[in-house]
Structure 1
Amino acid sequence: MSRLRTRPTRDDTRDKLFEAAARVFEAEGIGGASIEAIAAAAGFTRGAFYSNFKSKDELIIAMLEDHVEQSIKRNLDLLAEHTDLDEFLAALKAMDRSKQDPLGRSPLLHMEMILYVARAEKRRPELAKRLRARRKLIADIIQATQQTNPRNHARNPSWMASVLLALEDGFRLHRLIDPETTPADSFLRAITDLRRATGLASS
């Protein structure tokens, strides 16, 4: 008989560190959070942390990368089921955030982490790589959905993806500053309103 695994795998450890880091960042702030606090919140030692990440910055980059990868997978899974844009947006709005990764559950923490990393100029190319991946995802969604509804035609899906991504990030920043007047679904509501205003909504 095979032995039961009693020690966590590397992926298990990383996932627990991601979850713990998100809690500590939200409680203490990203700048004030220590590696010791993150490791303790995950139930690990400093050694376990350093066996996975060289620094807090490397942990943050890994969390951002994991979030982008999971976001792409979630959206492509939805797109496989809903090629109509209205149906896709409705499914996206109804998605259960509680089952997502830490940054998927907390868009505000996601934005804070991006701004934190962007302060270090040498780290910006890594952010740019993830930004391009997010742009491509949106452009692919636009192209796929307009094939099923010619009225949803975008002459330049890549540029439209840039516009939508800037709109999404803008609403995240506004929600960070003024959550009382910026609902969590502001971005999706804005897309719906824009499509109605430009006559691109499905009949």
Structure 2
Amino acid sequence: MARLTRAESQARTRQQLVETARELFLCDGYSATSLEKVADAAGYSKGAVYSNFRNKDELCLAVLDTIHEQQATSMTESLASADSMEGMLAAFQEWAERSIGDEAWTALEVEFATNARRNQHIRAELATRDRTIRDLISGLLTAHAERFDITLPMPADDCATALLSLGIGLGVQRAIDPGIPVRVLPEVIRLLAGSTPKEPPT
């Protein structure tokens, strides 16, 4: 077996630290998880953590990046096979049922953002990531509007901001009460598309 180069070894160490931190952050929370705990659980020294991340904030950003990337890929793949507006809405609702309101993920996002409220650097980093997510949603809205010959009632960026804001709020509510229905999201998309909302199941 070929020996790993230094760069490959460092990349593997970084990946293992991020995976371990993800498990701990989601299980125990951001504040309760120390860098020492991450290092011990991953089987590395604390120095190995600092050689890859300047502090716990940067490690958490890397964890959130992996979660966001996985969710974005999952959502995009779910919508890709839809061949009609109704199919797209059904696929989106299935994804939303699986993802929006996940208690551990939602709690981590809220806790980290709250802790970072006085840290201008981290707030800027979070804002950049928020912009990336909005751009993804805007791109999907534009692509599907063209595909299904839909005229959006306002610019795609504004629609994306509205949907993301609704999704975040709904996620927090569902983390507290999973019984809150997720169907409001696809119904809002239906309204944006100029369609009549479906009657909720009785």
TM-score by length of 1: 0.74
> How far did residue 137 of structure 1 move?
0.7
* 1:39–1:90 distance in 2 versus 1, CA, 3 Å: farther
- State the alpha-carbon separation in 2 of the partners of residues 196 and 95 from structure 1: 16
Moved more, 141-150 or 75-84: 75-84
Determine the structure 2 residue equivalent to 1:155. 154
Q: Would you say the 8 A contact 2:166–2:185 is kept in 1?
A: no
State how far apart, in whole Å, the 1-side matches of 2:83 and 2:130 are: 24
Count of paired positions: 194
Q: What's the Cα RMSD here?
A: 3.6
Query: Unaligned stretches of 5+ in structure 2?
Result: none
Identity %: 30
Aligned twin of 1:192 = 186
Q: CA–CA distance in 2 between the matches of 1:96 and 1:193?
A: 12
Change (3 A) 1:181 1:121: farther
Structure with the greater relative contact order (CA < 8 A, sep ≥ 6): 1 or 2? 2
Is 1:142 aligned to 2:141, yes or no? yes
User: Quick one: which amino acid aligns to residue 16 of structure 1?
Assistant: Q
Report runs of 4+ in structure 1 exceeding 6 Å deviation.
none
Find the aligned partners of 2:12 and 2:65 in 1 and give their Cα distance.
16
Cα deviation, residue 124, structure 1: 1.1
Q: How far, CA to CA, are the matches of 2:16 and 2:89 in structure 1?
A: 31
Structure 1 residue runs without a partner (length 5+): none
Alpha-carbon distance between aligned partners in 1 of 2:138 and 2:160, rounded to the nearest angstrom: 5
The DSSP-based 3-state class of the residue aligned with 1:33 is coil
Q: What do the CA deviations read for 1:143-172 (whole angstroms, capped 9, x no partner)?
A: 100112224634311101000010011112
Contact 2:17 2:39 in 1 (8 A): yes
Letter in 2 for 1:64: L
Distance 1:24 1:128, change over 3 A: same
CA displacement at 1:4 relative to structure 2 = 5.4
